[in-house]
Amino acid sequence: GENVGLHLPTLSVQEGDNSIINCAYSNSASDYFIWYKQESGKGPQFIIDIRSNMDKRQGQRVTVLLNKTVKHLSLQIAATQPGDSAVYFCAENGSSNTGKLIFGQGTTLQVKP
Amino acid sequence: SAVISQKPSRDICQRGTSLTIQCQVDSQVTMMFWYRQQPGQSLTLIATANQGSEATYESGFVIDKFPISRPNLTFSTLTVSNMSPEDSSIYLCSVAGSVHEQYFGPGTRLTVT
């Protein structure tokens, strides 16, 4: 079946360092990928997305990299801040074009002051 | 992005009872979705709430257990019926701004005792 998974359940980084959160996906038909941030007690918040015809996309302090050859997605956060502490999920649209998303298992990012 | 609210924000219910969760959006949207997030886990799609027609359920979810209404383009309800402790989760609604972009409500935290 379709599966989107993450390599590490918890990532601990020092404030100011860069963070890299990884995600593996299994559906090669997916053409759209999203990273969400979920803070405690809140719903997931859209961070950045990327389409399959791109291999890199940059936002404010965040960069998403897509490697379709190995079906790997990563989120890089520059100069990590305490406010970045949250659970991060990757999601893919799978083989459908119905708006449905398949979520990975999530990585908890802990930022140490 | 749309502003999404959910009611109630949290509830504690007894087994065997039912709870109806409301999702309100500040603009008209075509696609609305309901997700479940079990404690410490990722999001799983329950169903797509279609305006003017029956909801479309994912594998493992049935209408008798999770009836959904979608009376208009700004509102939907999800009912969790005949609850058991295994239904203790966060229930989230989301809306699609485009086919792929999704925005989430704050969630309803349900505890079944």
Of A45, A49, A99, the CB nearest to B96: A99
Q: Which of A66-80, B37-51, B67-81 has the lowest mean pLDDT?
A: B37-51
CB contact under 8 A, B45 and A101: yes
A95 contacts A39 by C-beta, under 8 angstroms: no
Chain A residues closer than 8 Å to B41 by CB: 105-106
Q: What is the mean pLDDT of residues B52-58?
A: 90
Computed on alpha carbons and rounded to an integer, the radius of gyration of chain A in Å comes to 13
Q: B12-16: long-range contacts at Cβ-Cβ below 8 A with a sequence spacing of 24 or more? A: B12/B111, B12/B112, B12/B113, B13/B83, B13/B110, B13/B111, B13/B112, B13/B113, B14/B83, B14/B112, B14/B113, B15/B83, B15/B84, B15/B85, B15/B112, B15/B113, B16/B82, B16/B83
Better-scored residue on pLDDT, B36 or B53: B36
Distance from CA of B14 to the nearest CA of A (A): 22
Residues from chain A contacting residue B89 (CB–CB below 8 Å):
none
Q: What average pLDDT does range B86-106 have in this prediction?
A: 89
The answer, for B86 touching chain A at a CB cutoff of 8 Å, is no
